[in-house]
Structure 1
Amino acid sequence: MKRRSPLEITRAVVFALLLREMRARFGQRRMGAFWMLAEPVIQLIVMTVLIGIIRGRSDIQAIPFPVFLLSGIAPFVMFRGVATLIMEGLAANRGLFAYKQVTPMDTFVARTILQCSLSCISYLIVALAFAWYGYDMTIAHPLEWLALLAVGVGLSFGLGMVLAVVIDLLPELRTFVRFAFLVLYFSSGAVFPVSRFPSYVLPYVQWNPFLHLIELIREAAFPFYRVLDVTSLAYVLASTAILLCTGLGLFKVRKNRMLAIKGIV
């Protein structure tokens, strides 16, 4: 039997975990495959249409408001999904860690791939629907747009690892974390234009790295979009690096204890 390299073992484990995650979602109810894609699509459409109706038909910097909303809501939903799935990854897959080949990091990677894939497919479906309706859905700088999305996934991955360690130590904080994501959502500019925020609020919300990220994503998507002066790519990259290093450090320090507490050595 051919001896496999560590990379080949990791790739096989991540692929198996990815299939397991998909099967778990498919098998939870009837027509699981349909609802797996339909739920995020319906969520994006309903949120975009409802908020657009409440907000009115006024454009934001010559951008139709539904398109403006979609450009912020879709990335944030993907980033939040990555962070929350990683946060719950330890509890959902703890029984598998008895196998030496399976590590918590493998489950984090598999869940990230699944969430990103679903989010991309959902966004594509909604974007095609908007284009069919008559909206211009072209991306002005596609490579920059994709690079910023990748940075956002890295930011969410680091945040998810930090939260996974914190939640394993203090499970009662789950409710607080979900409320914190709600605050991050509304302060990120995904729903409400940052330019409309009161001046006394900006010094506080600009600490939210997702605000900078959403603004930069919109700048890459729309050719004439003007971001706020406080927007900083360097801040987003620094936040990503800090969260990734902190997450990896905390995970390395507490890895054995987290698994041993549950009876896994």
Structure 2
Amino acid sequence: MWNSLWQYRSFILTSIRNELVSRFSRSRLGGVWMIINPLVQVAIYALILSNVLAAKLPGINNKYAYAIYLTAGTIGWSLFQEITSRCLNVFIENGNLMKKMRFPRITLPAIVVGSSLLNNVLLILSAICAFAIAGHIPNANIFWLIPLTLLVVMLATGLGLLFGILNVFVRDVGQVIPIILQILFWFTPIVYPLTIVPAWLSPYIGLNPMIGIISGYHDVILYSTAPDVSSMFTAFIVALALLTLSLFLFRKAAPEMVDVL
């Protein structure tokens, strides 16, 4: 599969470019919409909850601290959600293409990952500019975003590919996963700080591998410190296990998916 990805790298890159061009071909703002959508969500939450939860963020004097906290969490979550959601339907949406052309099927989720990464990089750059205007300039620890982003990609691709394969054979999966993602969002400290979670709920929330990753985003972007490496390692093990399982199932199921579609 890795050899196929390398041999078809031009197909993947061209598909990513064509996808972006077609998405915004008739839009005056073009790719700016990729940045506006998540930032508007951040603005809504910040306006509604900033007065309530800003005091729960210790050690930050910036009056925009809660908005920065929200943005940091949204950067990680938006990448995770986009890859997972798009991989969920990638084979169904490209069913006709898979039946008419011979090409490595693994390139389809690779195109999703590449496009989502490009969106996320633009979001990060715009967020850093906004932070600078607000008087919050990240230090060298900002480069920890590279391994954090790779962790999100591994975890999201593992989950998305696994559910995407199952969705071909059992279409109910495509209806259930968006609901699960909504629940997972509220069980991840994006809108609220982890310190306000009741003690009885902490063990259950701790099962969520996204907590360590999102907390890493908060450490790097808001507190300008290095993330907890032990939490990152735990998330890495979970992500690696899911990615390995999904790739194994993909190799087994790829020939049958075309017949089902």
Common fold by TM > 0.5: yes
Match of 1:239 in 2: 238
Root-mean-square deviation (CA), in Å? Answer: 2.6
Q: CA deviation at 1:209?
A: 0.3
Q: CA deviation at 1:6?
A: 5.7
Match of 1:23 in 2: 21
Tell me, in whole angstroms, the C-alpha distance in 2 between the residues paired with 1:226 and 1:113.
Answer: 25
Tell me, in whole angstroms, the C-alpha distance in 1 between the residues paired with 2:6 and 2:210.
Answer: 34
Structure 2 gap ranges (5+): none
Instruction: Assess, with a 3 A threshold, how the Cα gap between structure 1 residues 6 and 186 changes in structure 2: closer, same or farther.
Output: closer
Tell me, in whole angstroms, the C-alpha distance in 1 between the residues paired with 2:182 and 2:155.
Answer: 17
Tell me, in whole angstroms, the C-alpha distance in 2 between the residues paired with 1:8 and 1:160.
Answer: 21
Tell me, in whole angstroms, the C-alpha distance in 2 between the residues paired with 1:213 and 1:50.
Answer: 25
Q: Confirm or deny that 1:173 pairs with 2:168.
A: no
Decide whether the 8 Å contact of 1:83 with 1:159 is kept in 2.
yes
Q: CA deviation at 1:59?
A: 5.3
Q: CA deviation at 1:40?
A: 3.2
Match of 1:47 in 2: 45
Tell me, in whole angstroms, the C-alpha distance in 1 between the residues paired with 2:260 and 2:102.
Answer: 17
Q: CA deviation at 1:86?
A: 1.4
Tell me, in whole angstroms, the C-alpha distance in 1 between the residues paired with 2:93 and 2:13.
Answer: 17
Decide whether the 8 Å contact of 2:148 with 2:217 is kept in 1.
yes
- Paired residue type of 1:96: L
The size of the alignment, in residue pairs, is 252
Tell me, in whole angstroms, the C-alpha distance in 2 between the residues paired with 1:9 and 1:62.
Answer: 50
Instruction: Please give the residue correspondences for 1:31-110 in structure 2 after superposition, counting only pairs within 5 Å.
Output: 31=28, 33=30, 34-53=32-51, 55-58=52-55, 60-63=57-60, 64-97=65-98, 98-101=100-103, 103-110=104-111
Tell me, in whole angstroms, the C-alpha distance in 2 between the residues paired with 1:126 and 1:168.
Answer: 37
Tell me, in whole angstroms, the C-alpha distance in 2 between the residues paired with 1:99 and 1:19.
Answer: 20
Q: CA deviation at 1:176?
A: 1.7
Q: Confirm or deny that 1:151 pairs with 2:151.
A: yes
- Percent identical among aligned pairs is 17
Tell me, in whole angstroms, the C-alpha distance in 1 between the residues paired with 2:247 and 2:161.
Answer: 7
- Paired residue type of 1:239: V
Instruction: Assess, with a 3 A threshold, how the Cα gap between structure 1 residues 217 and 125 changes in structure 2: closer, same or farther.
Output: closer
Structure 1 gap ranges (5+): none
Q: CA deviation at 1:66?
A: 1.4
CA offsets, 1:208-253, max 9 Å, x none?
00011111232333246897xxx72232011111110111011111
Q: CA deviation at 1:122?
A: 2.2
Tell me, in whole angstroms, the C-alpha distance in 2 between the residues paired with 1:100 and 1:259.
Answer: 11
Q: CA deviation at 1:114?
A: 1.1
TM-score, normalising length: structure 2: 0.85
Q: CA deviation at 1:123?
A: 3.0
CA offsets, 1:128-159, max 9 Å, x none?
22321x23141451232321121111111111
- Paired residue type of 1:17: S
Tell me, in whole angstroms, the C-alpha distance in 2 between the residues paired with 1:7 and 1:152.
Answer: 20
Instruction: Assess, with a 3 A threshold, how the Cα gap between structure 1 residues 8 and 112 changes in structure 2: closer, same or farther.
Output: closer
